[in-house]
Structure 1
Amino acid sequence: MTAHSPLTQPLAKLTSLTYDELEIGQSASITRPLTLTDVNLFATMSGNVDPLHFPEGVDNAIFSQPVGHGMWAGSLFSGLLGTQLPGPGTVYHKQSLKFKAPIPLGAMVTATITVEKKKITGNGQKLVTLDCCLCDQKDKVLVKGTAVVVPPSQHRDQEGHVLPELQFIAHDQLDMLTAKCASLAPLPTAIVFPCDSTSLQGACDGARLGLIDPVLVGPEERIRALAEEHGLDISPFRLVDAMHEKDAAAKGVALAKKGEVGAVMKGSLHTDELMGAVVKRDIGLRTKNRISHVFVMSVPTYPKPLLITDAVVNITPSADDKAHIINNAVGLANVLGVETPKVAILSAVEQVNLKIASTVDAAILCKMADRDQIKGRDSRRSAGL
């Protein structure tokens, strides 16, 4: 989602008011809601992730609903001082605030600053004191205080700074997928040749999350040395010794074929070495269905799982092969909770071009979808989506 704040909208004109131009009683204000985006962004910038500010932390907090950070209110006063009164060039001298009531999430608040006093100190410094007040939509005072500032030394009119568009991403597809597995028992998984830190760490992380029960397949001494080097505890895991990459691939696939594991996970060997063992007719994992690969993408600006297929296994698939690949991906999407996935067939151009085979295949696939030869999908009708 894209989060826009009234304080981050470009201002057409900013005016700096000098000490002499300021008058007692002058005021400026801004009205805006406290949104969850405000809370998340303020927490991101300040590092204050106290659970009482978030919906999931309400059960452990002293308030019955999430509340805003106190200094979020202070930032509203700061924004007014720097953009409206006295305006650009204003320098904080000191700020004093009393927080009289929490700011509940969703509250529509009005921040107001009012010139209260002007003073020239003994050393000639010009100071202006402003009353600061934050009220909710029922005029209940939430924050009260004062700000003492040094006003701009010169009157100036200028254009406001245009800020870039702000996006706050409030979801992670990988977290959503992990949550879907929370009620399932860990899946025994052969980790084939976990001989680099990434693949061995991945096995440990998967076990820690309760997703897999790793079976490490590879050179035993090498794996144990790697675990010790990186401080990884692999003592709970079964370890199947293998001489090299191809031996590890064969043994990992054999474990799956015998039903001792339910999945095979690639370690630090090449894909073709693992797939060579998987597709062998006599000892591999081939079935009547075509084997295909799917990337499950977590795209920050896309709110749903995004699957990309096939980017690894099938090099030059025919139209019939592509139909099988789509069906495989649709089946995976169904498992992930997408009942009727949308299928986009990618090609170089949007129109069918007889000189570009992929566009012809796309047309065939769309027609197959029309005739229900591809099930459980909402298939887009053009090739270049």
Structure 2
Amino acid sequence: MHIENCTFDELQVGDSRELRRLCTQDDLLVFANVSGNHNPMHLYDADGDGDGMVEAVAPGMFVGALVSAVLGNLLPGAGTLYRAQSMVFHARAHAGDELVSRVTVTDKNERDSTVTLATEVRRLGDDALILSGAATVEAPRKKISYSSHDLPGLIVQRHRHFEKLLKLAAPLPALKTAVVCPEEPNSLGGALLARSHTLIAPILVGDATRIAACAAEIGADLTGVEIIDEPDHQTAAHRAVALVGEGRAEALMKGHLHTDQLLRATLDKQAGLRAGRRFTHVFVMDVPGLAHPLLVTDAAINISPDLKTKVDIVQNAIDLALSIGIEQPKVGVLSAVETVNPDLPSSIDGALLSKMAERGQITGGLVDGPLAMDNAVDIAAARTKGLTSPVAGHADVLVVPDIDAGNMLAKQLTYLSHAEGAGLVLGARVPIILNSRSDDDMSRLASCAVAALHHFRLKGGA
């Protein structure tokens, strides 16, 4: 925004300016953090007065700040300083309301360069008066121009996409899940937390003594939870897989054992869980500031996948994207460039996967490649490169060249962009929930929610 002020000499009684502002849930979170006012009446997901309803009332001082925005940006504008402000609140604004703040010059005092202005805030739509009052300000004497684009932006670290997934999964029956070796606090606690949210019905397979000791350590009650005593990790993994074959489990969840021990049991040629496709891993990432979940694949299983494996990687990711509510998944196949280079295998794979999707060999989504990271996720970068596909700049799924690139991308999103990641292995007869020891509660819950949603859709529930 370009800001140019009105000096004291230019101001006339009757001059008026206004600004419109949509009050969002994130605005209320930012205001709570900046002001220190954590009154639950103003938080988007809290019942502040015990009536069973979420209020999300805009704080009075947030509404008042909208008046200050008109004074500082438009009239008088840059260089303005407050002397006094009166406010009377006539109604309440809420998250989702679009508000109009307006100021009108009512008086000028030449002696001290002060200006008095009538102030009000109204709700757009019904024109309800939210606030009225008067401001006295010191008006600038010199002309000033300023670009507000120089102001640093803010990103609210709130994981709205995972919250939505939890709500989508909440009505589903609890997913019967064999939890393999939950013998340390994070893995056991995560399984029991998902149970308390009715996302999974866990069967704990592992060393019963260690599981009981771990439960005592974290103060957890195991009443009603089935425990199958298998002290050896490899044996426990095979027993959990057998539960799927018996129809007693609909998913597997990794506990405190090596990933390869779990996968070795699932890949057993006779008793395993092969279903025709390669096993592939998908991270569902909730990246603050991004308008949709971002799927990254494969960052955990296939080290250097060939084209045939990448077909399964792409198809599995599309299927999962559909399960979590992305109606037409847009898949960007990543390379270092967005043009085909015969010396760069990932660019050739990207072009071939794109053509295979056009010919119906990959179904359910749109696939484009090769795409560089910038023009896969940023529309301005895509336009700069002259890319006009529906995927470029809008990718929901990022297919990486190899496990190195995928691991680095997922961890960069987690540790630099403050993303949360839910991890799932696909291609087996049932979802395999794969969490790391560093995952927090939200990541573990989201992984279970994603598994439940995927299982439900594949079984014909949606």
The answer (yes or no) to whether the contact 2:207–2:232 under 8 Å persists in 1 is yes
1:155 shift after superposition: 5.5
1:174 maps to amino acid: F
User: Could you tell me which of 41, 45, 67 is aligned with 1:77?
Assistant: 67
Provide Cα deviations, 1:266-320, integer angstroms capped at 9, x if missing partner: 1232211211221122332223332222222223343334322222222232222
Q: 2:134 aligned with 1:134, yes or no?
A: no
Aligned-residue sequence identity (percent) comes to: 33
Which secondary structure does the structure 1 equivalent of 2:370 belong to? coil
The answer (yes or no) to whether the contact 1:22–1:86 under 8 Å persists in 2 is no
**Distance in 1 between the 2:206 and 2:44 partners?**
47
**Distance in 1 between the 2:228 and 2:268 partners?**
21
In the alignment, which residue of structure 2 is the partner of 1:98? 88
The answer (yes or no) to whether the contact 2:204–2:226 under 8 Å persists in 1 is yes
1:75 maps to amino acid: A
1:127 shift after superposition: 11
Provide Cα deviations, 1:104-126, integer angstroms capped at 9, x if missing partner: 76455343264669799xxxxx8
In the alignment, which residue of structure 1 is the partner of 2:421? none
In the alignment, which residue of structure 1 is the partner of 2:23? 36
The answer (yes or no) to whether the contact 2:348–2:370 under 8 Å persists in 1 is no
Change (3 A) 1:30 1:206: farther
Change (3 A) 1:53 1:269: closer
Q: 2:272 aligned with 1:284, yes or no?
A: yes
In the alignment, which residue of structure 2 is the partner of 1:252? 240
**Distance in 2 between the 1:361 and 1:166 partners?**
37
Structure-to-structure mapping, 1:3-42, within 5 angstroms: 9-12=1-4, 29-37=16-24, 40-42=26-28
In the alignment, which residue of structure 2 is the partner of 1:341? 329
In the alignment, which residue of structure 2 is the partner of 1:356? 344
The answer (yes or no) to whether the contact 1:187–1:212 under 8 Å persists in 2 is yes
Runs of 5+ in structure 1 lacking a partner?
1-8, 121-125
1:177 shift after superposition: 2.2
Change (3 A) 1:145 1:308: closer
Change (3 A) 1:131 1:369: closer
In the alignment, which residue of structure 2 is the partner of 1:123? none
Count of matched residue positions in the alignment of Structure 1 and Structure 2? 359
Provide Cα deviations, 1:193-250, integer angstroms capped at 9, x if missing partner: 2233322222122112221011222222222222232233333322222324333322
**Distance in 2 between the 1:370 and 1:34 partners?**
43
The answer (yes or no) to whether the contact 1:187–1:213 under 8 Å persists in 2 is yes
1:32 maps to amino acid: L
Which secondary structure does the structure 2 equivalent of 1:380 belong to? strand
Which secondary structure does the structure 2 equivalent of 1:293 belong to? strand
Change (3 A) 1:33 1:275: same
1:323 shift after superposition: 1.6
Considering only aligned residues, what root-mean-square deviation do their CA atoms show, in Å?
4.1
Structure-to-structure mapping, 1:1-385, within 5 angstroms: 9-12=1-4, 29-37=16-24, 40-46=26-32, 47-50=38-41, 68-80=58-70, 84-85=75-76, 88=79, 90=81, 92=83, 95-103=85-93, 106=97, 109-112=100-103, 114=105, 130=116, 132-134=118-120, 136=122, 142-147=130-135, 151=138, 160=146, 162-166=150-154, 172-382=160-370, 384=372, 385=376
Runs of 5+ in structure 2 lacking a partner?
33-37, 377-462
**Distance in 1 between the 2:181 and 2:323 partners?**
28
**Distance in 2 between the 1:177 and 1:140 partners?**
35
Change (3 A) 1:31 1:128: closer
In the alignment, which residue of structure 1 is the partner of 2:383? none
The answer (yes or no) to whether the contact 2:116–2:136 under 8 Å persists in 1 is yes
Provide Cα deviations, 1:84-103, integer angstroms capped at 9, x if missing partner: 559647355x6442223445
Change (3 A) 1:28 1:197: farther
2:306 maps to amino acid: S
Change (3 A) 1:232 1:14: farther
In the alignment, which residue of structure 2 is the partner of 1:6? none
Change (3 A) 1:372 1:103: closer
Moved more, 199-208 or 27-36: 27-36
2:265 maps to amino acid: A
Change (3 A) 1:305 1:100: closer
Change (3 A) 1:53 1:236: closer
Provide Cα deviations, 1:40-69, integer angstroms capped at 9, x if missing partner: 414531334427989x99xx799xx98644
Change (3 A) 1:107 1:347: closer
Change (3 A) 1:302 1:353: same
The answer (yes or no) to whether the contact 1:117–1:128 under 8 Å persists in 2 is yes
TM-score, structure 1 as length reference:
0.75
1:45 maps to amino acid: F
The answer (yes or no) to whether the contact 1:14–1:88 under 8 Å persists in 2 is no
Which secondary structure does the structure 2 equivalent of 1:323 belong to? helix
**Distance in 1 between the 2:128 and 2:307 partners?**
67
1:134 shift after superposition: 0.7
The answer (yes or no) to whether the contact 1:193–1:248 under 8 Å persists in 2 is yes
**Distance in 1 between the 2:241 and 2:297 partners?**
22
